[in-house]
Amino acid sequence: MSNHYEALGVAQDATGEEIKKAYRKLARKLHPDVNTEPTASDEFKRVSHAYEVLSDPNKRRIYDTTGNENGNDNGFGGGYSGQGFAFQDIFDSFFGGSGGGGAPSRVRRGQDALINLRVDLKEAVFGGAKKIDVETAVVCPSCEGSCCQPGTAPRTCDICRGAGQVQRAVRSILGQVMTSAPCGSCRGFGTIIPSPCHECSGEGRVRARRSLNIKVPAGVATGTRIQLSGQGEAGPAGGPLGDLYVEIRVASDPTYLRDGDDLHVTLSIPMTAAALGTTVELDTFDGMRELAVRTGAQSGEIITLRGLGVTHLRGSGRGDLRVHVNVETPRNLDPAQEDLLRQLATLRGEEAPEGQLASSGSGVFARLRERLGNR
């Protein structure tokens, strides 16, 4: 486990203000918005977590005592680990309050945020960069998260004397006992802000709109979520930022249909081209591609172009592009065209053809059976 004091570069006896200054300096240096180094994001998480622990007097006390903010030092100081409960829980169950540990900090981690991002199918195939505007909580620029007007500072609560709790005697079946409750004057924080910042009303953060550049990975689908560490809401009193989650919505394409990592498209060709065979220019996401249609092609046939589908989100390579052939029967023939077709029918002995039912193992029935899985 990393040492939280070393992470922030402060001594173990550093004051709360020294810890806050060290965190702000490192956060400005390591924040993903300004630092593109590969290790910056992990370092930012590390110092944010260290600040979250050391800025909270109760968590800091436990960390200094046990070396672990969870307090599980395998001794009796933080709780009896073998039974899954702490002696503090027993105290609370009888007396309805805290047995000590100091007031909680005003500094808390910001909430995570979720937004939707709409991309077109081509962007899902290849990925790309998108710029979005996010309205979220940011550190107050006036007080820089201190919650106080410039030149002022919080003062110790006169009612609870910084404990954050007040006690009173009550009668119970055990006799007269002392109960604890959060101090109503300081709301349990142990300190009072006599001159709250006018801009943030003593919250240490304000709502603002900011722009973000997002890298959309190739192969995303509707429902894919992208996590942006440290891009969520700023916490109260200058607390660490939460994370931002971007959920992808892929728009429908007027030409191509996506099925997993494969793309499907319909190609309509005249009856004569299907009978004689032809080569057509197909407009794909990769540019124009030549497509050879064999002689005697039938409606419903599928021609596969390998590797022209959607990029695999995990792994390498791409899916396929499947071209569904649709043979168009000519309409509104003029007399000359009709005469030529009649001559062709005579030559082929098809003046009065007898219809034949196709077997269920061939043609469109075979494809239907395959799609339905013989259900």
Mean pLDDT of 241-247: 93
Which of 25-34, 112-121, 254-263, 366-375 has the least mean pLDDT? 366-375
Report pLDDT for 170.
74
- Considering only residues 368 and 6, tell me which one the structure prediction assigns the higher pLDDT: 6
Residue 299: closest CA among 268, 330, 273: 268
Residue 52: closest CA among 110, 113, 139: 110
End-to-end CA distance of the chain: 55
What is the rounded average pLDDT for all residues in the chain?
Answer: 83
- Considering only residues 187 and 304, tell me which one the structure prediction assigns the higher pLDDT: 304
Res. 184: pLDDT tops 80: yes
For the chain, what is the HEC assignment?
CCCHHHHHCCCCCCCHHHHHHHHHHHHHHHCCCCCCCCCHHHHHHHHHHHHHHHCCHHHHHHHHHHCCCCCCCCCCCCCECCCCECHHHHHHHHHCCCCCCCCCCCCCCCCCEEEEEEECHHHHHHCEEEEEEEEEEEECCCCCCCCECCCCCCEECCCCCCCCEEEEEEEECCEEEEEEEECCCCCCCCEECCCECCCCCCCCEEEEEEEEEEEECCCCCCCCEEEECCCCCCEHHHECCCCEEEEEEECCCCCCEEECCEEEEEEEEEHHHHHHCEEEEEEECCEEEEEEECCCCCCCCEEEECCCCCECCCCCCECCEEEEEEEECCCCCCHHHHHHHHHHHHHCCCCCCCCCCCCCCCHHHHHHHHHHCCC
What is the bridge-based pairing of β-strands 321-328 and 302-305?
antiparallel
Q: Residue 302: pLDDT band by 50, 70, 90 thresholds?
A: very high
Res. 91: pLDDT tops 60: no
Report pLDDT for 100.
46
Mean pLDDT of 14-25: 85
Q: Residue 86: pLDDT band by 50, 70, 90 thresholds?
A: very low
Q: Residue 366: pLDDT band by 50, 70, 90 thresholds?
A: low
Mean pLDDT of 208-227: 93
Which of 30-44, 62-76, 100-114, 190-204 has the least mean pLDDT? 62-76
Mean pLDDT of 189-206: 92
Q: Residue 312: pLDDT band by 50, 70, 90 thresholds?
A: very high
Res. 178: pLDDT tops 70: yes
Q: Residue 68: pLDDT band by 50, 70, 90 thresholds?
A: confident
Most confident of 3-7, 88-92, 135-139, 368-372: 135-139
Mean pLDDT of 156-185: 80
Q: Residue 371: pLDDT band by 50, 70, 90 thresholds?
A: low
Report pLDDT for 71.
55
CATH 2.60.260.20 fits 257-372, yes or no: yes
Report pLDDT for 272.
92
Residue type, 133: D
Report pLDDT for 102.
62
What are the sequence ranges of the domains in the chain?
Answer: 1-68, 257-372
Report pLDDT for 79.
39
Which of 48-62, 77-91, 100-114, 131-145 has the least mean pLDDT? 77-91
Mean pLDDT of 74-98: 41
Report pLDDT for 226.
94
Please state which CATH class domain 1-68 belongs to.
mainly alpha
Residue type, 293: V
Residue 22: closest CA among 40, 39, 4: 4
- Considering only residues 34 and 131, tell me which one the structure prediction assigns the higher pLDDT: 131
Report pLDDT for 93.
39
Mean pLDDT of 313-336: 93
